[in-house]
Amino acid sequence: MSEILVHTEAGVMTLTFNRVDRKNSINVAMYDAMTDALTQAAPDAAVRAVLIQGDPTVFSAGNDIGDFMAAAAKPPEATEAESPAIRFLRAIAAFPKPIVASVCGPAVGIGTTLLFHCDLVIAGDNAAFSMPFVNLGLVPEAASSMLAPQMFGYHRAAEALLLGEPFMAEAALEVGLVNRVVPPTEANSIAQAQARKLAAKPLSALVATKRLLKMSQQAAVQERIGVEAESFAHSMRAPAAKEAFSAFMEKRKPDFSKV
């Protein structure tokens, strides 16, 4: 069975993370599937809104650690300038129609940062957001180094990105990352209802309004995604990240005292 389920009904294309046994960690095939779905949906008149959802127990544990380690093992010249993750981020950041997300349980790394590119976010009261890039010897992605300070304010963004500690649904509501906090068993259905409300509205007005909302930062977001990607690729091969990945696989606490 596909690890990304794609279903379109009533004008809403729903993308569902379907890898619960691996906490919906996102691998290369999943990034490609989501990028393809968004690319096809953008000009498709039958798709008027998109919903991204996970399971009531987990949204996503972030990037698949095996993919991280495989990419880090490649020589720099063998690495694609635009990885599947970056292509997905560029696609979701540029998507012209409304995107709704339903988030329950852990939303780690890109599981949180992709939400900066959604227009409405419904969170279960069990949602736990985290951007632990520094803890892995890495840097932020998805233009979160720009968008988090804009949304949270600098000091809260610094706390989230420098400490990398989880913050819960109510804190996410307070800083504006989510619109509503609901019981986890209701989150997907409420998000679907919101997406269908959007899909019932005039598409031309939705697209024009979203374009106006994002007009002042669209180019800057794409530029920041590229700058972060370069730094991310460099950090991924640095000693700190190698120690973090090794510690993860060996189920021990990393030792950054020499890096």
Query: Any idea where the domains of the chain sit in the sequence?
Result: 4-183+202-207
Inter-helix orientation angle 239-250/218-236, to 10°:
70
Handedness of CA 247, 248, 254, 259 (dihedral sign): positive
pLDDT value, residue 258: 82
Q: Which residues of the chain, if any, have pLDDT below 70?
A: 72-73, 75-81
d(CA 226, CA 50): 24
pLDDT value, residue 42: 98
pLDDT value, residue 67: 82
Query: Which CATH architecture group holds 4-183+202-207?
Result: Alpha-Beta Complex (3.90)
pLDDT value, residue 81: 58
d(CA 22, CA 141): 22
User: Which among 108, 114, 7 is positioned nearest to 59, based on CA atoms?
Assistant: 108
From residue 74, give the alpha-carbon distance in Å to each of 47, 69, 78, 218, 259: 38, 9, 6, 32, 21
